[in-house]
Amino acid sequence: MAENSMEIKNEQIGRVTLDYSKYPGEDLYCDGVVEDELLKIVRDMSKVEYPRVIEERKSWPILYHLSTLRENIVEWIPMEKDAKVLEVGSGCGAITGVLARKAGSVTCVDLSRKRSLINAHRNSECENVTIHVGNFKDIEPDLPRDYDYICLIGVFEYGKGYIGGKAPYSEFLRILQAHLGRGGRIIIAIENKYGMKYFAGCKEDHLGTYFAGIENYEDGGGVRTFSRKGLERIFARCGAEEYHFYYPYPDYKFMTTLYSDMYQPGKGELTNNLRNFDRDRMLLFSESAAFNGVLEDDLFPVFANSYLAVIGNGFETKYVKYSNDRAAEYEIRTEIGKSPKGKAYVRKYPLTEAAKDHVRGMALAYENLMKKYEGGNLEINRCTLVDNGEELYAEFDFVEGVPLSQYMDRCLEEEDLEGFHKYFREYVERIGYNSSFEVADFDLIFSNILVNEDTWTLIDYEWTFGKPIDTKELAFRAIYCYLLENEKRNKLNLDLILQELEITETDAANFREQEMDFQRFVTGSRMSMAQMRDAIGYRCMTPQKWIERYQDSEAVNRVQIYEDRGEGFKEEESYFVRDAYRGEQQIELELAVDGNVHVLRVDPAFDSCMVKLLEVTFNGEHVPLEKRKLLLANGKIIKPAEQGNENYQPDIVFPTTDPNINLDLTLLERRAENTLYMRMEIVRLPLNMAQDMAGAVKKLF
């Protein structure tokens, strides 16, 4: 029932204030009962319980609204502690909490009271959050004009509904620009209408239809996403003089990596593409392979799945990678940026209190690895620990070079296996130096080593342990991870690698088990996002397989007829029967047969199969299939004939791709012109299954 806005007073939930002064009295937008479920969860449970709830419920809305990974899209932004933030379209508060932790104050605006209640309960400890409930157009005139950040996370595409008019999107930004203070920024996270995932078979996120954005929203609708060029035109119309683009990957919803125009992905990096959780999708091609081509031609900004556009001054940061799908004590953020003096840096920040010791341990790992490889041919990237009381991070030099994995990929692409093995042997030699030393980096994978001419530098040694590890175990893990990252690398003969390392099958099995143990150690047994996708249960369909199956059916579902007139069957005199198949499993024939044909052969398919003869007539008379010698075939019968049983319908298994059924017409009363009618059921079988079934039949038919 709608509530009168005059009867709803402002509300305090914990330390969060909800302002209903502009609330129209009813929610005009609602996702249904799932919002009641969300409200109950955030009201009755603590945040530490959310991961367990997400895994138990296996629900896209629960994952979407409660996952802490949603925060990644803004967590990296270096906000001042006294910054004022306006969050338009705050919804259920997926990013409100992280904004409140980073800034001095956060003002939220959302149309839905139910969603605002969810936001308030989940962030009830935040005394710097105020939520205005109501239509943005009604609330906006009363908002201050000194915000440092205005965030539109998954909101700008709804600008037409917020503002209306002929140019709603540029007008939306004009209105917001008036509320920025000096040096303020507008942060927009939005899907790219030409994102690679939409070409590859993901449905448009808002309309739920295939190719809606690619087709320029031909069927209408109130939501619009844009290409980079489209956004730039809008920015120009509203007078935005400075803006910067970042590229969240796989997309802005569950971003793991953020690229920029200053730091774009390298070939082979974009492999984590099955990240849609909300509905079925098609898989029309390999997105990883397509991205590699896009990267070669410098087209990544055109086909990136999402954009994070910053209107205003840019940031030092040019690359961010999140590793927060782990146990709390290992959650970190890796950042590449450039200092005001122009020096590039790499920094690793703890994302939790528990992860601080993990970051501190990186400086110790550097010192130990330097001692181990002193005098060897593997450089260790320098690490400096910064802990000034306000922030803690490990800073590394920015090293120029190409990942070893890219050189090895190039060898495989050029089918230069000798070159590949040369790199691998050199890798084994370099990492194996001083192998008995009481320290080892377990994560010596190829992508963690940068090659610059003869200098090989280990740039990431996060998983360094105070014990020696056999070189062949480290090398096995490197090649194992390398193969898992890209199926096209499977052309590599792993057996040759194992022989070279003198690794037995038992050793390999033990190393794989150790890898699983290591992953459980890192994740704390948390369910990965790939596992969550499988648990939610939406399908990933491959139309190419349907096409191949159809093409296969066209090739094998053909009926060929041979006639023996006393000289045997002749291929050149055979013919095919058109339209004999009634669907995939029914065959019906009516053949004209002259009186000179002694034996008629019917090949029901070009594949191993099982056939049940339902009905056979000759000149309208029932053919007694139970009689011996009348019916011959190169298959085996499932059930023996019962003499005198006129209703006998033999089942024949054909363990061959050339099945044939022969009728000896000399045993029937023939005329000059005859008509043969046959009706049968056919089921195609894998050859090995047909062979097993035929082998179980004792009597040859």
pLDDT in tens, 21-32: 999 999 877 778
The answer to whether 591 and 561 have CB atoms below 8 angstroms apart is yes
CA distance 278 to 287: 19
pTM: 0.80
Strand pairing report for 379-380 and 455-458: parallel
CA distance 534 to 79: 36
Average pLDDT over all residues of the chain:
93
- What is residue 549's predicted lDDT score, i.e. its pLDDT? 64
- What is residue 641's predicted lDDT score, i.e. its pLDDT? 66
- What is residue 7's predicted lDDT score, i.e. its pLDDT? 64
- What is residue 525's predicted lDDT score, i.e. its pLDDT? 80
- What is residue 700's predicted lDDT score, i.e. its pLDDT? 39
pLDDT band at 35 (very low <50, low <70, confident <90, very high): very high
- What is residue 544's predicted lDDT score, i.e. its pLDDT? 78
CA distance 513 to 86: 49
Radius of gyration (C-alpha) of the chain in whole angstroms: 34
Please state the rounded mean pLDDT for residues 539-547: 83
pLDDT in tens, 42-67: 999 999 999 999 999 999 999 999 99
The answer to whether 94 and 65 have CB atoms below 8 angstroms apart is yes
Comparing CA positions, the residue from 197, 303, 214, 293 lying closest to residue 259 is 303
The answer to whether 566 and 598 have CB atoms below 8 angstroms apart is yes
pLDDT band at 637 (very low <50, low <70, confident <90, very high): confident
Please state the rounded mean pLDDT for residues 380-409: 95
pLDDT band at 642 (very low <50, low <70, confident <90, very high): low
Q: Does 294 or 542 have the greater pLDDT score?
A: 294
Comparing CA positions, the residue from 431, 473, 470, 468 lying closest to residue 449 is 431
CA distance 260 to 592: 73
Domains annotated for the chain, with CATH where assigned, are 5-322 (3.40.50.150), 329-397 (3.30.200), 405-535 (no CATH), 551-695 (no CATH)
pLDDT in tens, 3-22: 444 467 899 999 999 999 99
Would you give the DSSP letter of residue 186?
E
**Residue 9: CA atoms inside 13 Å, Cβ hemisphere, count?**
2
pLDDT band at 643 (very low <50, low <70, confident <90, very high): low
- What is residue 172's predicted lDDT score, i.e. its pLDDT? 97
Please state the rounded mean pLDDT for residues 321-327: 95
* Percent of residues, the chain, with pLDDT higher than 90: 81
Instruction: Supply angle C-alpha 143, 149, 155, rounded to 5.
Output: 80
Please state the rounded mean pLDDT for residues 543-566: 81
Instruction: Supply angle C-alpha 215, 220, 222, rounded to 5.
Output: 120
- What is residue 470's predicted lDDT score, i.e. its pLDDT? 96
Please state the rounded mean pLDDT for residues 403-424: 94
Region at 644 (left for phi over 0; alpha for psi -120 to 50; beta for the rest): left
Given a cut of 50, whether residue 701 has pLDDT beyond it is: no
Given a cut of 80, whether residue 487 has pLDDT beyond it is: no
pLDDT in tens, 296-322: 999 999 999 999 999 999 999 999 999
Given a cut of 70, whether residue 405 has pLDDT beyond it is: yes
Q: Kind and range of the H or E element at 613?
A: strand 609-618
Long-range CB contacts for residues 487-495, cutoff 8 Å, separation at least 24: 488/289, 488/412, 489/409, 489/412, 491/412, 492/412, 492/417, 492/420, 493/417
Would you give the DSSP letter of residue 700?
B
**Angle separating helix axes 417-431 and 404-413, nearest 10 degrees:** 160
Given a cut of 70, whether residue 548 has pLDDT beyond it is: no
Please state the rounded mean pLDDT for residues 646-653: 88
- What is residue 171's predicted lDDT score, i.e. its pLDDT? 97
- What is residue 484's predicted lDDT score, i.e. its pLDDT? 86
CA distance 620 to 588: 15
